[in-house]
Amino acid sequence: MTAYLLKRLAISLATLVLASIVVFAVLEILPGDPARLMLGMNASADQVELLRNQMGLNQPLLLRYLHWAGGLLSLDFGRSYTYSVPVIDLVRERLAVSLPLALIALALSTIIAIPVGLFSASRRGRAGDTISMGAAQLGVAVPNFWFALMLIYVFAVWLRLVPAGGFPGWSAGISPALKSLLLPAVALALPQAAILARVTRSALIEVLNEDYIRTARAKGLPYRTVLWRHALRNAMIPVLTILGLQFAFLLAGTIIIENVFYLPGLGRLVFQAITQRDLIVVESVVMLLVAAVIAVNLVVDLSYAVVDPRLRSRQ
Amino acid sequence: MKLWKTLLAAAVLAVATATSAFAARTDLVIGIPLEPPHLDPTAGAAAAIREVTYANVFEGLTRIGPNGEVLPDLAESWTISDDGKIYTFKLHTGVKFHDGADFSADDVKFSLDRARAENSVNAQKQLFAAIDEVDVVDPATVKVTLTHPQGSFLYNMGWGDAVIVSPKSADTNKEKPVGTGPFKFESWAKGSSITLLKSDHYWGAPVFLEKVEFRIVPDAAAAVPALLSGDIQAFPFFDPDSVSQVKDDPRFKVVVGATEGETILSINNKQPPFDKLQVRQAISYALDRKAIIDGASAGLGLPIGSHMSPANKYYVDLTGHYPHDVAKAKQLLKEAGLENGFKATLKLPPTTYARLGGEIIASELRDVGINLEIIPVEWAQWLDQVFTKKDYDLTIVSHTEPNDIDIYARKDYYFNYDNPTFKKVIADLELTSDEAKRKELYAQAQKILADDAVVGFLYELPKVGVWDAKLQGLWESAPIPANDLTKVKWSE
């Protein structure tokens, strides 16, 4: 188990170093000058050069990479070109929105998907299965920005239960903050739940065909117990894999939903930083996300071992 | 008895609601599409900085009014020497910065010297180019000496880039702007909103609003429900395409005004075959401005025939110079030896007007034999490739700086246009203060650009504002980028 852990950690570190080189190189190739963007069309070339010097953009490439990567090691993510505040502060502010949002959406998605998957698998081929899988198909197919707009029109414009968008900040109190995250979380959760329900169903169906299920039934266990205790637990591995992927996606890939609800999340920070060529923000945030994805994968790998004792001994 | 009680309660409630309705609202939430990168208008070109701070947080010696006129601001009055080179400004007294520091002539000298200094990163440094010396005469008087008379000097001092800052707070204005305006900066939740509060010790006419929040709403589709739900009460810069969703709703006012944004089909004048006058004229004849305005701007926006806003007092109507005439365009191309047409590229920045207008223009030019390859680019790419490196044939962009016809006289500007006669007119303008003469020179300048068909002049970008019908005092037009809240109030 320890050897397994060490190996996983070494791979993770190597991935991080590689990612930092790729991220830095790709953004260097990207055309566009942050200094010109800040000064606009009326500034002279001399002035742009002056600002480039002030921003340290005229230093050699390697030096800048080492400076940045060295900073990352000591958890110093640099200062944003455009906002001129430490990147870590920006990230912390955005995570205060993105992390709870991702967690709520993930929880919602799981709460909806697992029972639906169970229900469908146990009624395989019957009307209930067809209806719920049809609904899941629809959930995957409906564009989530459209679904988000429909939610806004119904719950914010018509019923006026929640705000149409924006985020008041946690300082405004738990309840208003949660209220403003509710619709975006639902909009994010539904397509994820649809995918997860389908995965749960097919994993369960596969397990339900196994011999030990028949044995369990034969020894007189009720169907419900077999489903929950024997089948679901064995079907968890693909479900956990998908959950891990979904969490990584929900953390940063939610730019469209963030735009529709004008939430100050991580996705929008990255998007804005790319359009403004705030390279240091893009680089640092992407690295943080890479680290987060690697960490999530590690946790998922470890959780396999928790769910399935056979994996523990094999290592 | 029970009924009586209920009736009484209802009556009390009704009276309470009625009285509270008499006290007009004093808060306002304004939606803005782009978040400012920071809040210091003296250190960045972004219009979003001015849309929050201009006239609200920061003030200059002069200011620009809702119709583009020059008004006194921190300078209560001024005198100009006979040779037009010395401006003596009399300043308001008893003015304080939001941090409590007193405002005086020293701050004016500091601000102007800072903006024109060697290491200044002011985005509009050219505004201060004519200043030779700034002298403090006494705490309430400042004397500015110019190297040559400059007709636009008072106007220049009204730009957001020329606001007066305090030496104590100048370096921290990006994060925490401190000015002399009627609103002071309260907080900025990055990515979300910026809040201003009424300043306690404002020197000028008191403002009506107590609290203003600028909320960042980047998506046009989100703006409509935000209005409908009442979360946001005003979008001074609204997406023209979404207007149809709110224009019949009596709760809202849709106000279409002018901007200083000349939207043009820029042409690289040195790139063959665009170096030939006939080719550029052919393009001008091929353009159907009405179709472009309908398609790119929901039918809103006035056609232009040269580089001047129809709202500007120096405007001359040259829209008839090149009427839409396909036969004429083809004939001109033939004269240029290009009867078989040619291929070129059209680089489009990400703005809606460019992307939509580009499709229409490509199809209009195809009708006369010019085949355009459309290349969509990001804004940063556009500034890099098109604007700085001049690596382009055609592009569409709106030049939003006010009164900026002089860009065609600039050395190495991305049009690659070089006409000594035009440069002479602009140089004369710079030295002329006499209004009648200025008008004449501006007319000449506009005529030369139209004659040379330097670029394809399309239309003036409209300013479409949508706000609560009970809200009064917001600017109709945008002579400069601003959301001036000094006169804004709720009716009732």
Task: Write down all domains in chain A, each with its CATH number in brackets.
Answer: 2-73 (no CATH), 87-314 (1.10.3720.10)
The C-alpha atoms of residue A243 and residue A254 are separated, in whole angstroms, by 16
What is the average pLDDT across B47-57? 95
Span B347-377, pLDDT tens digits: 999 888 999 999 999 999 999 999 999 999 9
Taking the model in full, what pTM does it have? 0.86
Tell me if B225 and A259 make a contact (CB, 8 A cut-off): no
Residue type, B27: D
Q: Which residues of A touch B401 (CB under 8 A)?
A: 41-42
pLDDT of residue A315: 47
Span B203-225, pLDDT tens digits: 999 999 999 999 999 888 899 99
**Best residue of B29, B219, B389 to probe chain A, by most A CBs closer than 10 Å:** B219
Residues sharing a CB contact under 8 Å with residue A120, sequence separation 6 or more, in sequence order: A128, A129, A132, A133, A197, A201
Residues found in chain A = 315
The C-alpha atoms of residue B265 and residue A254 are separated, in whole angstroms, by 36
Q: B97, B166 in Cβ contact below 8 A?
A: yes
B471, containing H or E segment? strand B471-472
Burial of B166 (0-12, 13-18, 19+ CB in 10 A): buried
Tell me if A50 and B119 make a contact (CB, 8 A cut-off): yes
Burial of B12 (0-12, 13-18, 19+ CB in 10 A): exposed
3-state secondary structure of B123: coil
pLDDT higher than 90, residue B160: yes
Tell me if B380 and A37 make a contact (CB, 8 A cut-off): yes
pLDDT of residue A55: 81
Least confident of A36-45, B88-97, B452-461: A36-45
Least confident of A200-204, A240-244, A306-310: A306-310
Structure-token pair, residue B23: 């006290």
**Looking at the partner chain, which of B190, B215, B399 has a beta carbon nearest the beta carbon of A90?**
B190
What is the average pLDDT across A23-29? 87
Q: A123, A129 in Cβ contact below 8 A?
A: yes
In whole numbers, what is the pLDDT of chain A averaged over residues? 88
The C-alpha atoms of residue A256 and residue A237 are separated, in whole angstroms, by 30
Tell me if B46 and A264 make a contact (CB, 8 A cut-off): no
Q: Which residues of A touch B126 (CB under 8 A)?
A: 42, 44
Tell me if B383 and A41 make a contact (CB, 8 A cut-off): yes
Structure-token pair, residue A152: 């806004």
In B, minimum Cα distance to A31 occurs at B381
Residues sharing a CB contact under 8 Å with residue B271, sequence separation 6 or more, in sequence order: B392, B393, B416
The C-alpha atoms of residue B387 and residue B382 are separated, in whole angstroms, by 6
The C-alpha atoms of residue B127 and residue A43 are separated, in whole angstroms, by 11
- ipTM over 0.95? The verdict is no
Q: Which residues of A touch B48 (CB under 8 A)?
A: none
Residue B140 is given by DSSP the state T
Q: Are strands B211-216 and B27-32 parallel, antiparallel or unpaired?
A: parallel
Residue recorded with tokens 């008004």: B71
pLDDT higher than 70, residue B338: yes
For residue A97, give how far its alpha carbon lies from the nearest alpha carbon of chain B (Å).
Answer: 11
pLDDT of residue B4: 54
The C-alpha atoms of residue B284 and residue B286 are separated, in whole angstroms, by 5
Split at pLDDT 50, 70, 90, the class of B191 is confident
pLDDT of residue B11: 52
What is the biggest distance separating any 2 CA atoms in chain B, rounded to whole angstroms? 99
Helix, strand, coil percentages for chain A (3-state, nearest 5): 80, 0, 20
Residues found in chain B = 492
B261, containing H or E segment? strand B252-267
Q: Which residues of B touch A153 (CB under 8 A)?
A: 225
**Which residues in chain A (165-224) have CB-CB distances under 8 A to chain B?**
165-167, 169
pLDDT higher than 50, residue B19: no
Residue type, A91: V
Tell me if A149 and B126 make a contact (CB, 8 A cut-off): no
Torsion of CA B330, B331, B335, B338, to 10 degrees: 20
